[in-house]
Amino acid sequence: MAVETARPGLWTRAQRASVDQLHIRLESLIVLIALGAVMAVLSPFFLSLSNFLNILLATSTIGVLAIAATFVIGSGGLDLSLGSVMGLAGVVGAYVAVNLEWPWPLAVAACILAGAAAGNINGQLVTRAFVPAFIVTLGMLGLARGLALVISHGRAIYGLPSAMVYIGQGRPLGIPMPVVIFVATALVAHCVLAYTRFGRHTLALGDSEGAARAAGIRVERHSRIIYTLSGALAGLAGLLFTARVNAGDPTAGINYELTAITAAIIGGTNLFGGRASILGTMIGALIMGVLQNGLTLLAVQSYYQQMAIGAVLILAVFIDQYQVRRESRV
């Protein structure tokens, strides 16, 4: 009898969590539509096809970083090094392709592996040296950026192979290749997070590390995999950016981690772990892309744009925590 009475409660809790996630995605979608409407009124160029493609292109890089942030934050961690690792990965890939003159597939692999290596170092230090993730990834932010400047001698590396440039500038069926890669990455990430044991373990770890450990989840190993995955996705974002601008720029990705984290939280990822949605993150990334694009069309200075992104981040966290407190009272 005890088991039978427990099941409805568990089902009710799961259904409530599912409904909450749906509400968050709907709210984010409404915000996206409203923001687009406002920008369309303020700027006559906003609704043009070329501008729409520019938004998608900018969103593809931020979106991949936001997916990485979603996995890490959903597990209860934090990765502040995403932007710098993205810049490092792009420089490494360009150096392999241009300076070493290796085949372009090896340069593409070098981008991903460079990011994964940086992420793995983050994970090793967090789980084995017991250094807080905030400190580790903040340190990696400086280390990765400095290493990118050392490798490139402080200058952008130009002249990528045409096949590599196609990854950033190609348009199969008229759709920008970075957008295709972003959507494919998001679909795979959604399936992994929502329908696999890895995804369930990730959210369980963020919900309660002690409970996850008691359930038999290898917490440290799982955390290292998540940070490595985050770095690999940052490497992919670096590849997309580098191929799009046809250069390995050591300054690429500055402050991108702030935008990526904001997109993830707007999309429904709980800053303290246990709840995350890749589909919500995609909407959040589009919101950030529309916001930045609209402010640029309105000739708003870049430093005001950074202020706007910071304000949106604070507001998103405030709303998220307000909802958590309201749910706890129910």
Task: Decide: 237 and 289 in contact? Cβ < 8 Å.
Answer: no
Chain mean position to CA 6: 37
Task: Decide: 246 and 165 in contact? Cβ < 8 Å.
Answer: yes
pLDDT-based confidence at residue 16 (cuts at 50, 70, 90):
very low
**If you average pLDDT over every residue of the chain, what do you get?**
89
Q: Is the pLDDT of residue 158 over 50?
A: yes
Quick one: average pLDDT of 91-112? 96
Where is pLDDT greater, at 70 or 321? 70
Quick one: average pLDDT of 78-98? 97
User: In the prediction, which pLDDT does 10 show?
Assistant: 34
Task: Decide: 67 and 82 in contact? Cβ < 8 Å.
Answer: no
Nearest to 80 by CA among 231, 252, 217, 257: 257
The reply to whether the predicted model has a pTM over 0.75 is yes
What 3-state DSSP class applies to 99? helix
User: In the prediction, which pLDDT does 21 show?
Assistant: 61
CA pair distance 205, 74, nearest whole angstrom = 8
Where is pLDDT greater, at 31 or 123? 123
pLDDT in tens, 20-68: 566 667 778 888 899 899 999 988 888 888 889 889 998 999 999 999 9
CA pair distance 25, 260, nearest whole angstrom = 17
CA pair distance 86, 89, nearest whole angstrom = 5
User: In the prediction, which pLDDT does 1 show?
Assistant: 36
User: In the prediction, which pLDDT does 23 show?
Assistant: 60
What 3-state DSSP class applies to 63? helix
User: In the prediction, which pLDDT does 22 show?
Assistant: 62
In the chain, where the domains are located: 46-318
Nearest to 91 by CA among 50, 37, 145: 145
**Is the dihedral angle over the CA atoms 280, 286, 290, 292 positive or is it negative?**
positive
Q: Is the pLDDT of residue 271 over 90?
A: no
Least confident of 12-26, 37-51, 194-208, 306-320: 12-26
User: In the prediction, which pLDDT does 322 show?
Assistant: 73
Rounded to 10 deg, the angle between the 82-94 and 49-74 helix axes is 110
Q: Which tokens go with 130?
A: 């017991």
Q: Which tokens go with 248?
A: 């390995």
Quick one: average pLDDT of 155-176? 94
CATH number of the structural domain 46-318: 1.10.3470
Q: Is the pLDDT of residue 188 over 90?
A: yes
pLDDT in tens, 242-260: 999 999 999 999 989 999 9
